[in-house]
Chain A
Amino acid sequence: MHSYTYRKRTNTLMLALCVLAVALAILILLLIFGYVLVKGIGSWKAAFFLNLPAPPGEPDGGIANGILGSLLLVAVASGIGIPVGIGAGIYLAEYEDRFLAPTVRFLTEVLVGIPSIIAGIVAYALIVLTTKQFSALAGGVALAIIFIPVVTRSTEEQLRLVPATLREAGFALGIPKWRVITGVVIPSALGGITTGVMLSAARVAGEAAPLLFTAFGSQFWPTGITESPVAALPLYIYRYAISPQSDWQAQAWGAALLLLLLVLGLNIMTRSLARSGMKRGERR
């Protein structure tokens, strides 16, 4: 039907388009990172990291409470999310039953994809409305709702990767099941589990939507986990970016650079650790 030349040319054209598609994706990545780097680094001075925000127009405003607030929120979210997530992951991987395990497995797979703002609404209804207060607890709970399904899924996967022979060796020695899990299986999967936890923490650190009406943001230092609204890096980025003040917009870029470095850095670090861990495992 088509001449060989036509087919050859179509082939070259389509393959070139595919290369173009990838090049475009990489180009966008570089553009984003480049712009954030260049526009953000200009805001990076000592006052930026150490000071509380100043009114627009006043110099030396900073986002220090946002940095602390983000750490606080991730800590609360992890404090709630790590036990529940890992525990549920252990249950799904090591214990099987007819109802709870399949249901929870299905729910976590689907909960991973829900919009994060819905987590914020739930935390608002459960905590902000009852305590009549925006707080780090509310923000942390909202983040935990996002955190838990991701950690559960990754933990279950990592535990399933541990060969059955390891468990059976433990049982053969007469070790109780729970000691096999905690003493043999989990240490064996610990690298992967830690990776999953850190990647999830990096993800929730960057979330702004669930914090909009739970942590709410603040111009002051947090006074406690339940007593006051809390600032956070993503909230600063959002609020400053849409503001008309140019010095605030500059701070938005600075905060974005910080957040991007933290999140990407964590991603890169955990993935390279995971890779070297796997190589070590293969040599054993």
Chain B
Amino acid sequence: MSAEVKSSSFIKSRRQTIDEFQPRITGTVRYGDSIFHGLMFFFALLILVMTGLILWQLLAGSSASIMHSGLDFFMGTRWSVGDDVYGALPVIYGTLATSALALLIAVPLSLGAAIFLAELAPGWLRAPVSYLVELLAAIPSVVYGLWALFVMVPVLRDPVQTTLSHLGFLPFFNADIYKPIGLGFMAAGVILAIMILPIITALSRDVILVVPQSQREAYYALGATRWETIKDVVLPYARAGIIGAGVLGLGRALGETMAVAMVIGNSNAISASLFSPGSTMASRIANEFAEASDLQRSALIEIALVLFMITFLVNVAARLLIGRIAGKRAV
């Protein structure tokens, strides 16, 4: 039996050649490859099935509520289990408001930290400090919530919010209806900002590091200062990636449950005032799901469905912006 060299074109792929080679060399058909391939295919298929299951359960579970509430779900502000009225506008508002606040606080800080880590830090400092910032990402959400509840909220109540209430002419700091108790949108926004900071920092740092040195050097050659180079060359070059990092942080903030549930005050209010308590989609589910009645549970699953779709879209947008640089992080 001779191993015939296939007189095929060079373009024929390696794998294809190997698979066809095997039987001709040995004269027998090998089952190992097919079995193994089939097994791995099965596992990959399971992920597809899992996603399908998630979608199916969310849709099936929320169907009762969709038929019951219709559009009032998105526009109603009243959430009453007793009357079977489920208006989700307050929780949608709460989710968006806290996430927006979190981004507002986190993005400048993260960008600053990323610039430091990518541009300013001496070589020996870069790795340890990056490591420490990434360690922030490993802290479990409940621990953040615990710390926020007992350490951050009292500080917010006094002196932060009492001082800010002097600016009560601004709707954000209006203390007329909601006396500052520390809990509320501000607390949730701040702890969310802390939680998404490491993600945005790490990704922005990676993106900034990829900017070619030649770009910077050209600007230096024109007499620019370091900050001017960062502002006019590096950041615009890395803009898409940085926005992607921010969007990814947004995605994380939208879905964050435990820490928010512990500090947001769990009321149904819609208010521009940051002192006001409120709820987010995830915190509403966390608070009510375990003991929910059938229609209530269906309404909560409808909230989950909306949350799933929003975070899905946000994550897709982030991936498109960042491409494969995000791959390294098991976020």
Q: Which residues of A contact B (CB under 8 A)?
A: 7-8, 10-11, 14-15, 17-22, 24-26, 28-29, 31-32, 35-36, 39, 83-88, 90-92, 94-95, 100-101, 103-104, 107-122, 124-126, 145, 148-150, 152-154, 157, 168, 171, 174, 176-179, 181-182, 196, 199-200, 202-203, 205-209, 212-213, 216, 234, 237-238, 241-242, 249, 252-253, 256, 259-260, 263-264, 267-268, 271
Nearest B residue to A237 via CB reads B142
Contact check, B257 vs A209: say whether CB atoms are below 8 A apart. Answer: yes
B44's partner among A14, A104, A242, A260 (CB-CB below 8 A) is: A104
Known contacts A22-B129, A117-B286, A238-B142: does B135 contact A153 (CB below 8 Å)?
A: no
Known contacts A176-B33, A177-B18: does B138 contact A264 (CB below 8 Å)?
A: yes
B57's partner among A85, A126, A200 (CB-CB below 8 A) is: A126
What's the Cα separation between A53 and B197 when bound, in Å?
36
Contact check, B44 vs A101: say whether CB atoms are below 8 A apart. Answer: yes
Contact check, B311 vs A36: say whether CB atoms are below 8 A apart. Answer: no
Contacts of B45 in A (CB 8 A): 100
What's the Cα separation between A207 and B227 when bound, in Å?
41
With an 8 A cutoff between CB atoms, is B290 at the interface? yes
Contact check, B25 vs A174: say whether CB atoms are below 8 A apart. Answer: yes
Contact check, A208 vs B142: say whether CB atoms are below 8 A apart. Answer: yes
Q: Which of B19, B45, B117 has the most CB of A within 10 A?
A: B45
Contact check, A237 vs B315: say whether CB atoms are below 8 A apart. Answer: no
Q: Within residues 195 to 240 of chain B, which ones have a CB less than 8 A from any CB in chain A?
A: 197-198, 201, 225-228, 230-231
What's the Cα separation between A241 and B142 when bound, in Å?
9
Segment of B47-55, B66-74, B159-167, B271-279 engaged in the interface with chain A: B47-55
Band of interface residues on B: 35 or more
A232: min CB distance to chain B, Å: 10
What's the Cα separation between A31 and B315 when bound, in Å?
31
10 closest A-B pairs (Cβ-Cβ)?
Answer: A206-B140, A115-B255, A87-B43, A21-B112, A178-B36, A91-B40, A11-B225, A91-B44, A113-B315, A209-B257
Contacts of B43 in A (CB 8 A): 83-88, 90-91
Known contacts A114-B255, A117-B285, A212-B290: does B48 contact A32 (CB below 8 Å)?
A: no
Nearest A residue to B301 via CB reads A121
Segment of B78-86, B143-151, B169-177 engaged in the interface with chain A: B143-151
What are 12 A-B residue pairs whose CB atoms fall within 8 Å in the complex? A17-B112, A87-B42, A107-B48, A109-B326, A111-B47, A113-B315, A115-B256, A116-B255, A206-B141, A208-B141, A209-B258, A238-B262
B323: min CB distance to chain A, Å: 11
With an 8 A cutoff between CB atoms, is B331 at the interface? yes
Contact check, B289 vs A213: say whether CB atoms are below 8 A apart. Answer: yes
Contacts of B129 in A (CB 8 A): 22, 26
B14: min CB distance to chain A, Å: 7
A1: min CB distance to chain B, Å: 12
A87: min CB distance to chain B, Å: 3
Contact check, A122 vs B58: say whether CB atoms are below 8 A apart. Answer: yes
Contact check, B136 vs A25: say whether CB atoms are below 8 A apart. Answer: yes
Contacts of B112 in A (CB 8 A): 17-18, 20-22
Contacts of B261 in A (CB 8 A): 238
